[in-house]
Chain A
Amino acid sequence: MSSNPTVVIAGASAAGLSVAEGLRRGGFSGRLTMIGEEVHLPYDRPPLSKEVLSGAWPDAKTLLREPGVFTQLDIDLRLGTRAERVDTAGRTVTCSDGSQIAYDDLVITTGVRPRPLPGTEGVQGVHVLRTLDDAQELRSVLDSHPRLVIVGAGFLGAEVASVARTAGADVTLVSDIQSPLSDVVGAEIGELLLQAHIEHGVHLRTGVKVAAVTHRDNQVTGVELADGSTLPADAVLIAIGSIPNTEWLAGSGIPIDNGVICDEFCRALPGVWAAGDVASWHHMGLDARLRLEHRTNAAEQGLAVARNILAADNPTPFTPVPYIWSDQYDLKLQIYGQTRAADTFAVIDGDLAERRFVAVYGKDGHVRGAVGANMIRPLRAARTLVADWAPWSRIEQGAAV
């Protein structure tokens, strides 16, 4: 680094903020520029599908930091402008407002955007939920107690179903998987979530694909399913996953393949790093390439990148125990590690039927993930099994958790 180095952070959400704060806390005294496409000060996204959508929180409560913090930390925060191009040889970023910023280190934290359902672009009444503006729009729609069809039963779809139903909407949750989140947490807990949604009056259409979203005069009228049935709708939420925002990096030499391809240090090229939803990196502990679209990872990975920038000659591999939570009705689901594609599953505490449990997931003879509901301390103990990659035999022997 030069004597007065510049770090440019492209993306002003949780990951970008974590990089900036991590650098300052680590003693970085150079220039720090953070570029954000949205006009809002950095805000938190998990509440969007929970407290913001329900109206329980005013929008301002989602702010990640008080406005004065950015001045205190001497962050040149450029909002309402997008990083549009990067020249990795000349080490400059060009923004949508025409400005060019030279960098010594660039951190890519541009996140993801909702995956669109082809044929629905521009149709009135079709929603996605990623930004505060999206949440405000959807919240105003809920006020009229609409017939809402949600396409996709992942975290977002299932959480919105819960909030919208509680707000009095007539909700149908459609998914090609068999039960909510079953691709993540498996059939047993998926079934439990399915029952919870049914109990609250959500209509479930699972194991079926969407054929088309129907509309008249450019206003949505319903969702047509592959089995030939049609669900009438006043509003439709598309929640079928996300696409990493990497198009602006095309031609830069930065490797892209479902995110920014990084090494175990979250480094894509010399002087180029990535963190948060957009970053795909090699997790040495799990010996797997991961790209995690989860809030906790954004903060932890941002911090890891900051530390590695400051210790560029001696970087540390980023090897977190991934953590996710999801609130649906009175159920708080907490997930550690990797639960997808598990080959073994066991409930080690509590009882699924009581919706108070700790379950562990194994693969190739080792514990790789844990899921808990309403059992805080026992789940934290199970996290240790995940962090240690404990042999599955310990579960069979009744691991003390």
Chain B
Amino acid sequence: MHITIDETKCCGAGQCVLAAPTVFDQREDNGVVILLDADPPEDQYAPVREAAAVCPAALIEVHE
């Protein structure tokens, strides 16, 4: 799995951090997403797919 993001679309909702906190974080000042791990381990696949699905800006792309 490889993750790409378009952070210019980010609205700072933080739904990705709630779904997969070891893969995503947010900047403290504006809440914009930080991708901590673009190639996450297998135990994170399901949470990452969830994060991509619920992202309200549809900015997380998961390549599998």
* Interface membership of B17, Cβ < 8 A: yes
Question: Which of A44, A65, A303 contacts B54 (CB under 8 A)?
Answer: A303
* Interface membership of B44, Cβ < 8 A: no
Asked if A303 contacts B53 (CB within 8 A), the reply is yes
* Interface membership of A394, Cβ < 8 A: no
Distance A21 CA – B13 CA, assembled complex (angstroms): 21
Residues in chain B near residue A18, CB distance under 8 A:
53
Stretch at the interface among A74-82, A96-104, A259-267, A292-300: A292-300
Tell me what chain A mostly uses at the interface: helix, strand, loop, or mixed: helix
Q: Which residue of B lies closest to A321 (CB)?
A: B18
C-beta contact mask, A260-302 vs B, less than 8 Å → 1, else 0?
Answer: 0000000000000000000000000000000000011001100
User: How many residues of chain A have a CB within 8 Å of chain B?
Assistant: 25
Residues in chain B near residue A200, CB distance under 8 A:
none
Residues in chain A near residue B49, CB distance under 8 A:
25
Residues in chain B near residue A116, CB distance under 8 A:
none
Binding site for A on B (CB under 8 A): 9, 11-15, 17-18, 26-31, 49, 53-58
Binding site for B on A (CB under 8 A): 14, 18, 21-22, 25, 44, 46, 61, 64-65, 295-296, 299-300, 303, 323, 325, 327, 332, 334, 374, 376-377, 380, 383
Q: Which residue of B lies closest to A387 (CB)?
A: B18
Distance A46 CA – B14 CA, assembled complex (angstroms): 16
Question: Which of B12, B28, B58 contacts A325 (CB under 8 A)?
Answer: B12
Distance A399 CA – B42 CA, assembled complex (angstroms): 36
Distance A51 CA – B52 CA, assembled complex (angstroms): 21
Asked if B53 contacts A296 (CB within 8 A), the reply is no
Asked if A334 contacts B13 (CB within 8 A), the reply is yes
